[in-house]
Amino acid sequence: MTGKPHPPSLRAELESLKAQIRRHDRKYFIENQPEISDPEYDRLLNRLRQLESDHPEWVTPDSPSQRVGGGRLERFEPVRHRLPMLSLDNTYSEEELRAFDKRVRKFLGAGQVAYFVELKFDGVSVSLSYEGGRLIVGATRGDGRTGDDITANLKTVRSIPAALTASSKAGLPRRMEARGEVYMPRAAFEAINRQREKAGLPLFANPRNATAGSLKQLDSRIVAERKLAFFCYGIGEREGGGALGSQAETLAYLKSLGLPVNPHGKRCGSIEEVVAFCREWERKHRQLDYQVDGMVIKVDDLAFQRKLGATAKSPRYCIAYKFQAEQARTRLERIEVQVGRTGTLTPVAILTPVALAGTTVSRASLHNADEIARKDVREGDLVVIEKAGEIIPQVVEVVKSERPAGAQPFRMPGRCPACGAGVIRDPEEVALRCESLKCPAQLKERLIHFSQRTAMEVEGIGDVVAEQLVLTGLVKDPGDLYTLRKEELLQLERMGEKSADNLLAGIAASKQRGLARLLFGLGIRHVGAASAEALAAAFGTLDRLSGVSEEALTEVEDVGPVVAASIRAFFNSPENRKVLKKLEQAGLNLQAERLEVRSGRLQGEIVVFTGELERYTRSKAQELVRRHGGRVGSGITKKTTLVVAGSDAGSKAEKAGELGVKIISEKAFLKRIGEGE
Ligand code: IVH
């Protein structure tokens, strides 16, 4: 070809690429019959991205390129479900299934009822609203009535179509809410945990937690990397698209629209057929490359379903049958005691490796000394272990008849296994705790916590490097990171020039993370990421925060007396003050991300919200308070100066009345800050 193709042909190429990619997505994710290799697929996608970056005006929201994720949100907005998303009643035995069938038949006055039986996917249920065939909103279940708007995250899931296909005879619905389960395939789950282990991040206990954790990310670019998938199992509300008479027809219809429907569902003419089908999958479900925790049994006929209706919690026309957790027996070789970030001593069972539910298990959690005493677990015992939908197995019981002669009851060590310092029993918990400030095991865990992605995001500090830095004495607290020199790093084993440079660059870059992430990274007891953010927003600088009273702290959203006392104790400690000084001298950004201030209209006010707001979400309204110079309180106290009452304000408003605090409506509040219409 000679010369450059002119734009119209580029435009045609772009449209054709989009169509090809969508088709291959469908082949791969929905029909499970890929036609091209992954590199070929990537070539198509890269070409599309290139054309779109040359012509940003051609990018449409449903382009397959948009699956990479759009960027960071401030928070998720609430979405009210038009029809509530209910939950399922569980059964654990065949008898209970037969009893369910009896109830159903009695209610319907029917001799025999047909059921549609599906796998119960162990993930996170979501609702996808399509309008005119396009995905408009995707939401979590939330409390069943209101969920979170996670559209941007769901768009990164490649088996969720951004647009429905109109191949069905019944045609596209004008509006339809598709419901189903987002899940993480086993292979993706294992890969992500391997990565996290390397980075020194806590592991996800099971694919469901990994899915939930991924969907909660505010940055959809992270979600795009997580390789989530989706199965559609039902319809919420629908307008248009023809009549449907059964669950079997519903699934066929969803499939015709291009939604991924699991192929293993089956219509069963009687409860005995249902029982046999459940038994069959109980035997073979572990061969699937995704986790299922049971079966869902639904009355097939939709007219019957409507007749049966629902209780407040769950529909009467369906029920879950949960699989028994798989168990194995193995020898408990010894009990190892690990020391966590806060000094907690956790006993772990080291097992003779044994195959269980698709993986080889060599460790199991024993939780704490009380748990060991309760089960009377001893070193050398033959134990029964189980994975109850968890990847981290538990010791269920000891086979006492197989106990080796002379096995002794286990005693937790009286000293810290890492540093030899004395241990104390935490009065709030059953756990034992090493109190030494210099314990290397704690230091290492604290350093990993400080460096993790959601805290200071120090690239290059994972399990191995953290351990080396602590054991060589180069780092005694996070403050030491910022004075590390290259010559020092080069003394560490397997640390080359390049890794040292990268590590130093990672450390330098982390200086800019801001107050909220620093506060979280410092690992103050009871201060999680959310309260760290609230504290940073309320006080603005580390300097101010370190000097405020416990009372002032409790005025911050989600900070109760226990948290406030813990924060005060942290800042009162001379050791900690030294660390903070080092961080300051290293030039860390110790300020909260600045909110643009709009006015001082709420100067001096401590505002508490109660009831449901109409115009803004709770957090948006709180942000407005801060933007207008006020502070946000969580509960009503003598200090509260203003209560904004939405609908159903309830007990907080009553209390405000008793305390004589001024109560205003949402409208009046908006007017007061000049944000009303
Ligand atoms: S039907 C009333 N079908 O199980 C809810 N649910 O434990 C009826 N689930 O929240 C939903 N696989 O997230 C249905 N094939 C399936 C399912 C399924 C998994 C989930 C769903 C629900 C949870 C209840």
- Atom 17 of ligand 1, nearest CA residue: 120
Mutating to test ligand 1, I would choose from 81, 117, 120, 300 the residue with most ligand atoms within 8 A of its C-beta, which is 120
**3-class DSSP state of 115:** strand
pLDDT tens digits for range 317-343? 999 999 988 789 999 999 999 998 888
Percent of the chain with pLDDT over 70: 94
Choose among 9, 82, 91, 87: nearest CA to 51: 9
Ligand 1 centroid–CA 87 distance in Å is: 7
CA 26 to chain centre: 27
pLDDT tens digits for range 482-514? 999 999 999 998 899 999 999 999 999 999 999
Ligand 1 centroid–CA 232 distance in Å is: 10
According to DSSP, the residues that pair with 117 across neighbouring strands are 266, 297
Torsion angle (degrees, nearest 10) of CA 364, 368, 371, 376: 80
Decide if pLDDT at 86 tops 80. yes
What pLDDT sits at residue 313?
85
All structural domains of the chain with their residue ranges:
7-54, 90-322, 328-402, 440-585, 606-672
User: How far is the CA of 51 from the CAs of 13, 47, 155, 359, in angstroms?
Assistant: 9, 6, 20, 44
What pLDDT sits at residue 1?
43
Query: How many other β-carbons are positioned within 10 Å of the β-carbon of residue 274?
Result: 25
Query: How many other β-carbons are positioned within 10 Å of the β-carbon of residue 273?
Result: 15
pLDDT tens digits for range 409-462? 999 998 999 999 888 886 666 778 888 878 999 999 999 999 988 789 999 998
Atom of ligand 1 nearest to the CA of 118: 15
Residue 172 tokens, joined: 């596209």
Decide if pLDDT at 627 tops 90. no
Choose among 170, 152, 225, 220: nearest CA to 195: 225
Torsion angle (degrees, nearest 10) of CA 140, 141, 142, 148: 30
Atom of ligand 1 nearest to the CA of 86: 2
According to DSSP, the residues that pair with 137 across neighbouring strands are 129
What pLDDT sits at residue 326?
79
Q: Does domain 328-402 have CATH number 2.40.50.140?
A: yes
pLDDT tens digits for range 551-579? 999 888 768 888 899 899 999 988 899 99
Ligand 1 centroid–CA 383 distance in Å is: 34
Assign a CATH topology to domain 440-585: DNA polymerase; domain 1 (1.10.150)
Which of the pair, 317 or 24, is modelled with greater confidence?
317
Which residue type, as a one-letter code, is found at position 379? Answer: E
Q: Which of 4, 106, 120, 620 is catalytic?
A: 120
Decide if pLDDT at 257 tops 70. yes
Confidence of residue 2 (pLDDT cuts 50, 70, 90): very low
pLDDT tens digits for range 509-541? 999 999 999 999 999 988 877 788 889 988 999
User: How far is the CA of 198 from the CAs of 91, 213, 353, 471, 475, in angstroms?
Assistant: 40, 18, 22, 18, 20
Does 293 contact ligand 1 (Cβ within 6 A)?
Answer: no
pTM beyond 0.75: the answer is no
Report the CATH number of the 7-54 domain.
1.10.287
69-73, 144-148, 588-592: segment of lowest average pLDDT: 69-73
What pLDDT sits at residue 290?
94
120 is catalytic: yes
Which residue type, as a one-letter code, is found at position 230? Answer: F
Ligand 1 centroid–CA 309 distance in Å is: 16
Ligand 1 centroid–CA 91 distance in Å is: 14
Decide if pLDDT at 3 tops 80. no
What pLDDT sits at residue 294?
95
pLDDT tens digits for range 459-481? 999 889 999 999 999 999 999 99
- Atom 7 of ligand 1, nearest CA residue: 88
- Atom 22 of ligand 1, nearest CA residue: 87
pLDDT tens digits for range 178-227? 999 999 998 899 888 877 766 656 677 778 888 998 998 888 888 888 89
Which of the pair, 658 or 664, is modelled with greater confidence?
664
Report the CATH number of the 90-322 domain.
3.30.470.30
Assign a CATH topology to domain 606-672: Rossmann fold (3.40.50)
Does 196 contact ligand 1 (Cβ within 6 A)?
Answer: no
Atom of ligand 1 nearest to the CA of 310: 2
Torsion angle (degrees, nearest 10) of CA 29, 35, 40, 42: -10
Decide if pLDDT at 314 tops 80. yes
- Atom 10 of ligand 1, nearest CA residue: 87
Question: Cα separation of 268 and 418, whole Å?
Answer: 59
Tell me whether the CATH fold assigned to 440-585 matches the one assigned to 606-672.
no
Confidence of residue 5 (pLDDT cuts 50, 70, 90): low
Which of the pair, 556 or 135, is modelled with greater confidence?
135
Decide if pLDDT at 166 tops 60. yes
Does 181 contact ligand 1 (Cβ within 6 A)?
Answer: yes
Half-sphere exposure of 394 (CA within 13 A, CB side): 14
Decide if pLDDT at 69 tops 70. no
In this structure, are strands 631-632 and 606-610 parallel, antiparallel, or unpaired?
Answer: parallel
Ligand 1 centroid–CA 325 distance in Å is: 19
Decide if pLDDT at 129 tops 90. yes
pLDDT tens digits for range 629-657? 888 776 777 778 999 988 877 677 777 87
Cβ pair 358, 292 in contact under 8 A: no
Decide if pLDDT at 593 tops 90. no
According to DSSP, the residues that pair with 120 across neighbouring strands are 294
Confidence of residue 32 (pLDDT cuts 50, 70, 90): low
Does 88 contact ligand 1 (Cβ within 6 A)?
Answer: yes
For 507: left if phi > 0, alpha if psi spans -120 to 50, otherwise beta; the answer is alpha
